[in-house]
Amino acid sequence: MKIIQTISGFFRNFLFTPLKRVFKGMGKKEELLKLPAPFVPDEEADSKQYEAHPSGAYMMLKMIFRDIGRYNAVIETLGRDFLTAMPKGAYKSRLGQIGFLHRRKHEELANPQVAAFIEEAHTHEKSNPKDWDDWDHANLREMEIMYRHHCQVDPELIERRARLGYEGRRVHSDVMKNNDWDTARPFLEDMISLTRRIAESKCLRDNEHESESPYQALMREYIPGFRIADIEKIFGQTRTKLDEILPQILEKQAAEKAPLPLKGPFPETQQMWLNKTLLRAIGFDFSRGGLYETGFNPVEGGTPEDTHLVIKAVNQNNFLISMKSTLHEGGHGLYVQGLPRDIWRYQPVGYDMGNAWHESQALMIEMILGRRREFFDYLAPRVEGLFQKFNDPSMTADNLYQLKTRVKKTADRKTADEVTYFYHINLRFELERKLFSGELEVKDLPDAWSAGLEEALGVTPENNMHGCLQDVHWFVGKFGYFPSYSLGHMIAAQVYTVMRKDIQNIPELLSEGNLIPVRDWLNHKVHKTGRLNRPGALMEEITGAPLSPGPLLAHLEERYLHNA
Amino acid sequence: MKIIQTISGFFRNFLFTPLKRVFKGMGKKEELLKLPAPFVPDEEADSKQYEAHPSGAYMMLKMIFRDIGRYNAVIETLGRDFLTAMPKGAYKSRLGQIGFLHRRKHEELANPQVAAFIEEAHTHEKSNPKDWDDWDHANLREMEIMYRHHCQVDPELIERRARLGYEGRRVHSDVMKNNDWDTARPFLEDMISLTRRIAESKCLRDNEHESESPYQALMREYIPGFRIADIEKIFGQTRTKLDEILPQILEKQAAEKAPLPLKGPFPETQQMWLNKTLLRAIGFDFSRGGLYETGFNPVEGGTPEDTHLVIKAVNQNNFLISMKSTLHEGGHGLYVQGLPRDIWRYQPVGYDMGNAWHESQALMIEMILGRRREFFDYLAPRVEGLFQKFNDPSMTADNLYQLKTRVKKTADRKTADEVTYFYHINLRFELERKLFSGELEVKDLPDAWSAGLEEALGVTPENNMHGCLQDVHWFVGKFGYFPSYSLGHMIAAQVYTVMRKDIQNIPELLSEGNLIPVRDWLNHKVHKTGRLNRPGALMEEITGAPLSPGPLLAHLEERYLHNA
């Protein structure tokens, strides 16, 4: 496989700063971690994770990162259980357990011994290039990136944040019941203050080159390979073009007949059957994962062997809501299940490309493909049968397609259409940067939110519940995540330009309810490459060009102005 | 509270051997564990776990054992998930994760720094007796016992055994499908060989006093406070008496009309509703636990905040099977939920008394109380309604009572009646001692089993599936556990002699389906005392006498010969 080792200037500087300057305590022998002896389970002896390598330091690193990966996997299982099975009374102690595991994981990673091994492995890599294949190179590179990202953070902050993040899930769910700003405000203040302390210790210690803002350091966790300035440029171009075509789309749709609303009820059992059946149609493997309902917000995650797609408990009045969420999480699920972890298991090179790429896989299924007219040709007659609505005019392919492609300026991100969605993301991207630069305080957030939404879409949220409280992200500490959605949308559209050349019968496949060839293509191009490439290099490898908003804007024009 | 600090001669020797002789590597400064900084969650600041104590070493121990307890809690949650929710494809990686957590837990416990803290805390305890209340004394004592039990075992053996134990659950379930001795034999050989290596490193290093056999060392994990010789004596007395009364019981029942068999089907949904409702009647708190079905064998466990009772998927032909299992696990569940862990949380003094006491709580509910005639007066008309069997003669209180108290010599432990149950346990106790002393090899187990059962009850198992393969215990590595059942039965009968004086209206309560006063009594006498006492001392505290088989034998005569 050809590898484009495109490392941006930023990353070159980052990687080439000596580790001794990155980790202050490094090399104090008395602090060295007591190393785990590598116990190799028989059935995995021939995986790349356990394959013998002439660099002893690299072998030790593989074992250390295996164990870090195991902590991650356990945390994922506890997280699924938290949302779907845990008795209420276990809430407090579970917070303690999750925080504790995060701390132990962090302690095993952010350890000077790890830095010493990385330096030693690099020395071996330089003097014995033949011993290192592309995957091993990439694995060591990702180990170093992961180490540098975490090494300066105080374990206590890690533990506190893990607890607070899970508390935030419940606080959010509570404040949304009563539009309860008075509870939300101090919680968000605490969360931002804690997250800022973490961000400050994540800022790169690299005084010779550019110095990093706390927000950039946070974004690095979710969207590796992207810089604030790059995103500002891309989002600016997108905004300009959307400001031009959105009025045209609205005008065009105003001239058309409005779609009929759905007539419920759509019973839960049938909805969940439909959702699971659609997941099988896109190629999700239920022997290695499952679909769950929760009282909390949707989440996806886990490991390729235990992939959980958790959606909000179904709404009996509208099956399209849980279906949308299922297709979205299903796209994530294909990515998780397709990672090269049968051979690389817990190694960093076997992980995904970060959240922009992850969202691209979700939005490819949910929006790019799942809102094509042909999919509704497949879906409509079948849901007419499933829900016993023969000849209901709201259940035609045409009407369902119109319902899913109707564009409307609203205050709500989650139910927003494919066109106005960007404005919601852009608003959050602006506000969270201000929250971290100190330009905006939490107490002023509701006003800033309303003003921003008014400026962007000309609408005002009814109240905070429909405004700055609507998303769970900030409550769980995910600052720097939001740009992933729009970047993911752009990545999906750009990747799709190649996919539709490679798979010429996509419309037919959709009308037959068969997305297996699509899954296989995505697996080949994206999923199974793990972190072999850096995110930018992957885009160039697949499409021959760097990421640009052009394909997404062309896609929106095509679908919403030219009805193609 | 008055504490009987009765420590048997054995335990005195065990506790007073200097730790330096117990842990070989102790005191090498370079091996000292890097200690966790105590992070105190706000909501637990006033618990005894976090309460400041003038001995700094004891405070550090409390934090170390808190973290060990957290590993335990996480392992329990992963175990419940393994049995009830995990996708099949996650089997292999889950084994790795569980083994890994067991290893890390072991490494944090079996560490010379822990021994040093224990010695330091003991010094403080002796010179500042006023600073130590009964609970702190007991907590430090239990820390030391736990440390000594584990400190010599190689972490790799711990990891291997945890994996093999979970594999054993699946191997057992597979071999039971086809009576597959050829798969079972090598697996059991591996398990015994691994367990023997662990047992040998658990044998007390105490050359001045008695030296311990590997089987005794294993039993110490499950039945602390009991010696092989004590059990041999108690079981011998029991066997002699049962050999005398069993023929009389059989003769008496042969003269009576046989009970009518149940006529199914009894749908799963109704059975599970019944089981949950009975759990509420005994006082199980569903906000801190749940009842689950599994394709594997029944298991109970978890923490007081997340107590899982896992029963085998219900049998539609006979609701008494899942009901029996539910009442049994429910008794365990009351114990788990009643432990003093709101204040002691993960501290050793907050744990249970070991498996003999645990089984006593299960058998108190399932057998001692749950097979009294009055309970069936409550149950019968209600299950007639629930299962829509009005006036079905097999559903009368009389018939259900007879079905549950019919005595019959069979080869099957799990469905054995209350009288012949002992013979099954005694056989396993004899065979597993021989397997560990080397007198018996796995290849000869089927013959030894048949011969033993023939001698004990005069019956022969149809095949290995109904013989030496029927129990999951040995497949999961539980050697030294079986005596718990009969000891627990005896403990329950002896404790009941006091309970029925304290709660004089037990028959009325049973006929009203209300066991809350019973739960509260058990909680006060047993559950909430955690490990404040040693197991033997607890029995003396409650009943004024050491454990004896007398009360159980009297109970069996009363119920099965005198129909009282």
Q: What is the DSSP string of B159-187?
A: HHHHHHHHHHHHHHHHHHHHT-HHHHHHH
Cβ <8 Å between A41 and B95:
yes
Amino acid identity at A49: Q
- What's residue B33's pLDDT? 42
Answer yes or no: are the C-beta atoms of B68 and B110 closer than 8 Å.
no
Domains of chain B: 15-212 (1.10.1370.30)
Answer yes or no: are the C-beta atoms of B298 and B322 closer than 8 Å.
no
Cβ <8 Å between B305 and A73:
no
pLDDT exceeds cutoff 80 at B2: no
Look at the block and give the residue holding tokens 């300009």: A240
Q: What phi and psi, each to the nearest 5 degrees, are found at residue B545?
A: -145, 155
- What's residue A401's pLDDT? 97
Per-residue pLDDT reduced to its tens digit, A173-212: 999 999 999 999 999 999 999 999 999 988 865 544 456 7
Cβ <8 Å between A41 and B96:
yes
- What's residue B47's pLDDT? 86
Pick from B70, B88, B92: CB nearest A96: B70
Strands B306-312 and B289-294: parallel
Percent of chain A with pLDDT over 70: 90
- What's residue B493's pLDDT? 98
- What's residue A208's pLDDT? 44
Chain A residue with CA closest to B38: the answer is A156
Q: What is the residue-averaged pLDDT of chain A?
A: 91
Answer yes or no: are the C-beta atoms of B379 and B277 closer than 8 Å.
no
Answer yes or no: are the C-beta atoms of A98 and A78 closer than 8 Å.
yes
Per-residue pLDDT reduced to its tens digit, B212-254: 789 999 999 899 988 999 999 999 999 999 999 999 999 999 9
- What's residue B211's pLDDT? 66
Cβ <8 Å between B305 and A90:
yes
Pick from B43, B89, B97: CB nearest A74: B97
Q: How far is B360 from chain A (nearest CA, A)?
A: 26
**What is the C-alpha separation between A100 and A159, in angstroms, rounded?**
6
Q: Which residues are CB-contacts of A2 (< 8 A; sequence separation ≥ 6)?
A: A541
CB atoms within 10 A of CB B265: 13
Per-residue pLDDT reduced to its tens digit, A415-438: 999 999 999 999 999 999 999 999
Amino acid identity at A231: I
**What is the C-alpha separation between A148 and A481, in angstroms, rounded?**
20
Answer yes or no: are the C-beta atoms of B355 and B328 closer than 8 Å.
no
Chain A residue with CA closest to B289: the answer is A87
Amino acid identity at B73: A
Cβ <8 Å between A89 and B306:
yes
Answer yes or no: are the C-beta atoms of A57 and A120 closer than 8 Å.
yes
Q: List chain B residues with CB under 8 Å of A30.
A: 30
In this prediction, residues A502-520 reach a mean pLDDT of 97
Per-residue pLDDT reduced to its tens digit, A356-376: 999 999 999 999 999 999 999
Asked if omega into B517 is within 30° of 0 (cis), the reply is no
- What's residue A309's pLDDT? 97
Pick from B90, B104, B286: CB nearest A305: B90
Cβ <8 Å between A34 and B31:
yes
- What's residue A296's pLDDT? 85
Q: How far is A15 from chain B (nearest CA, A)?
A: 29
Percent of chain B with pLDDT over 70: 90
- What's residue A297's pLDDT? 86
Which pLDDT band, with edges at 50, 70 and 90, does B436 fall under? Answer: very high
Look at the block and give the residue holding tokens 């007219």: A373
Q: List chain B residues with CB under 8 Å of A90.
A: 288, 303, 305-306
DSSP 3-state assignment of A291? strand
User: Which DSSP string do the residues of A452-491 spell out, in sequence order?
Assistant: HHHHHHS---SSGGGTTTS-SGGGGT--S-THHHHHHHHH
DSSP 3-state assignment of A293? strand
In this prediction, residues B361-367 reach a mean pLDDT of 98
Interface test with A, best of B46, B80, B91, B93 (most A CBs within 10 A): B93
Cβ <8 Å between B305 and A89:
yes
**What is the C-alpha separation between A406 and B21, in angstroms, rounded?**
78
**For residue A183, what are its two tokens?**
């509870």
Per-residue pLDDT reduced to its tens digit, A25-84: 444 433 344 444 556 666 666 789 999 999 999 999 999 999 999 999 999 999 999 999
pLDDT exceeds cutoff 50 at B26: no
- What's residue B22's pLDDT? 46
- What's residue A540's pLDDT? 96
Q: Which of B76, B71, B64 is nearest to B103 (CA)?
A: B71
**For residue B72, what are its two tokens?**
């335990």
**What is the C-alpha separation between A516 and B39, in angstroms, rounded?**
49
**What is the C-alpha separation between B329 and B279, in angstroms, rounded?**
9
Cβ <8 Å between A39 and B88:
no
In this prediction, residues A438-452 reach a mean pLDDT of 97
Q: What is the residue-averaged pLDDT of chain B?
A: 91
Q: How far is B295 from chain A (nearest CA, A)?
A: 16
Q: List chain A residues with CB under 8 Å of B90.
A: 288, 303, 305-306
Per-residue pLDDT reduced to its tens digit, B287-345: 999 999 998 888 889 999 999 999 999 999 999 999 999 999 999 999 999 999 888 98
How many cross-chain Cβ pairs, A to B, lie less than 8 Å apart?
132
Pick from B37, B87, B286: CB nearest A306: B87
pLDDT exceeds cutoff 60 at A542: yes
Pick from A101, A287, A288: CB nearest B74: A101
Cβ <8 Å between A90 and B285:
no
Q: List C-alpha distances in Å: A263 to A225, A318, A319.
A: 46, 8, 10
pLDDT exceeds cutoff 80 at B143: yes
Chain B residue with CA closest to A88: the answer is B287
SS3 per residue for A493-529:
HHHHHHHHHHCCCHHHHHHCCCCHHHHHHHHHHCHHH
Answer yes or no: are the C-beta atoms of A517 and A509 closer than 8 Å.
yes
Pick from A93, A286, A306: CB nearest B305: A93
Q: How far is A91 from chain B (nearest CA, A)?
A: 8
Cβ <8 Å between B104 and A104:
yes
Cβ <8 Å between A289 and B87:
yes
Per-residue pLDDT reduced to its tens digit, B116-132: 999 999 999 999 999 99
pLDDT exceeds cutoff 50 at B31: no
**For residue A490, what are its two tokens?**
């752009």
- What's residue A38's pLDDT? 57
- What's residue A158's pLDDT? 95
Q: List chain A residues with CB under 8 Å of B114.
A: none
- What's residue A203's pLDDT? 80
- What's residue B20's pLDDT? 52
Which pLDDT band, with edges at 50, 70 and 90, does A18 fall under? Answer: low
**Virtual torsion, Cα B35, B39, B44, B50, nearest 10 deg:** 40
pLDDT exceeds cutoff 80 at B283: yes
**How many residues does this entry show for chain A?**
564
**How many residues does this entry show for chain B?**
564
**For residue A58, what are its two tokens?**
């690299």
**What is the C-alpha separation between B320 and A341, in angstroms, rounded?**
46
Radius of gyration over every alpha carbon of chain B, rounded to an integer in angstroms: 24
Answer yes or no: are the C-beta atoms of A191 and A164 closer than 8 Å.
yes
Which pLDDT band, with edges at 50, 70 and 90, does A298 fall under? Answer: confident
Amino acid identity at B128: N
Q: How far is A484 from chain B (nearest CA, A)?
A: 29
Pick from B74, B160, B288: CB nearest A74: B74
Half-sphere exposure of A373 (CA within 13 A, CB side): 7
Per-residue pLDDT reduced to its tens digit, A144-164: 999 998 998 999 999 999 999
Half-sphere exposure of B119 (CA within 13 A, CB side): 13
Q: Which of A341, A410, A398, A330 is nearest to A364 (CA)?
A: A330
Question: A122-154: buried (b, 16+ CB within 10 Å) or exposed (e) per residue?
Answer: bebbeeeeeebeebbbbbbbbbbbbbbbbbbbe
Cβ <8 Å between B303 and A78:
no
More confident residue, B17 or A71: A71
* A258 class by beta-carbon count within 10 Å (0-12 exposed, 13-18 middle, 19+ buried): exposed
Pick from A92, A97, A163: CB nearest B74: A97
Chain A residue with CA closest to B74: the answer is A97
Q: Which of A166, A27, A161, A33 is nearest to A107 (CA)?
A: A33
* Run of H or E residues at A150: helix A134-150
Q: How far is B73 from chain A (nearest CA, A)?
A: 8
- What's residue B61's pLDDT? 96
